[in-house]
Amino acid sequence: MERRDGFVNQRLVVVPQPLVEAALVAPVTRRLLVTDAGSFPAAEGHRRERPEGSAEAIVIVCTAGEGWVETAGQRHRVGPGTAVLLAPGTPHAYGTSDRPWTIWWCHVRGTDLADLAEVAGVDALHPVISLRGVDRVVASMDEIVTALERDQSPARLLAVSGMAWRLLTQLAVDRRLPEQGEPLERAMNYLAERIDGQITVPELASLVGISPSHLSALFRHATGGGVTAHHTALRMARARSLLDTTEQPIAEVGRAVGYADQFYFSRQFRQAHGVSPTIYRAQRKG
């Protein structure tokens, strides 16, 4: 069972229930509200069981050691560089292993939680997220805890709502984007480094060692479109940069992003932006 005397150097802050109730009917904080937050270093014996789930969503970020989380009858390993996101009402249990974990955690309520969980792609069967930038996520958690340690005034709770939005959207991004070295990440890097090149989906799939259909499915999940659409988006982003920052002729810009035919480049640019490259360049920005 969890030690009731806490953990050495732990941080723990709880927003009083009357303040929680007031914030949940106030603008903005009713959409996202952090009710509890903290960090438990080397939390030997830490364990929680909630057969009926929790009224709040629970975020756990592991930075050292190892633990586990059980949902929907399955146990998942939680190691350094991973996070857990449990939706409200999800029956669960979690705890540390023989190598006590160090975790940052927070509990969150609000009307927007369902949308954020959906975007993150987490559910009872998939509660664990591999983090692309654990330091960035920990910095967000530290910011939340530090703010709440100062006070729990309405203004502070409002500020923390913004911090929680950044935290949860970062978890969603980390869930959707590939881990370093995965086929999707290598394919994306290949396309980004060859803005002016041409490659077919089968060729790219062969380079990263998976089937064309699997690669296409990975791209659709991560970007909302296929391989070609992603490569075109990269080309158009580079074209916009060249149009905004150089005096290169339109034809030269097109060639720089892989379009030998100026007219075809212009058609593609207009399809993506609703205006021609010439009109785009003339628009005032900023």
Delimit the domains of the chain by residue range: 11-176, 183-282
114 in Cβ contact with 77 (< 8 Å): no
CB neighbours of 218 closer than 8 A, spacing ≥ 6? 178, 183, 184, 187, 210
CB neighbours of 286 closer than 8 A, spacing ≥ 6? none
Query: How far is it, in rounded angstroms, from Cα 247 to Cα 250?
Result: 9
- Superfamily per CATH, domain 183-282: Homeodomain-like (1.10.10.60)
| Among 155, 227, 146, 242, residue whose Cα is nearest residue 191 | 227
The per-residue pLDDT for 92 is 97
138 backbone dihedrals φ, ψ, rounded to 5° = -65, -40
Residue listed under structure tokens 């970007």: 223
| Among 45, 103, 55, 57, residue whose Cα is nearest residue 79 | 103
66 Cα distance to chain centroid = 22
The per-residue pLDDT for 2 is 42
Q: Which amino acid is at 274?
A: G
CB neighbours of 85 closer than 8 A, spacing ≥ 6? 57, 58, 59, 117, 120, 122, 127, 129, 168, 171
The per-residue pLDDT for 3 is 43
Residue listed under structure tokens 């955690």: 105
What dotted CATH number matches 11-176?
2.60.120.280
Q: Do domains 11-176 and 183-282 have the same CATH topology?
A: no
Could you give the maximum distance between any two Cα atoms of the chain, in Å? Answer: 72
**Alpha carbons within 13 A on the beta-carbon side of 57:** 29
260 backbone dihedrals φ, ψ, rounded to 5° = -70, -30
Tens-level pLDDT at each residue, the chain (286 residues): 344 458 999 999 999 999 999 999 999 999 999 999 999 999 999 999 999 999 999 999 999 999 999 999 999 999 999 999 999 999 999 999 999 999 999 999 999 998 888 888 778 888 999 888 889 999 999 999 999 999 999 999 999 999 999 999 998 888 777 666 789 889 999 999 999 988 999 999 999 999 999 999 989 888 888 999 999 999 999 999 999 999 999 999 999 999 999 999 999 999 999 999 999 999 988 8
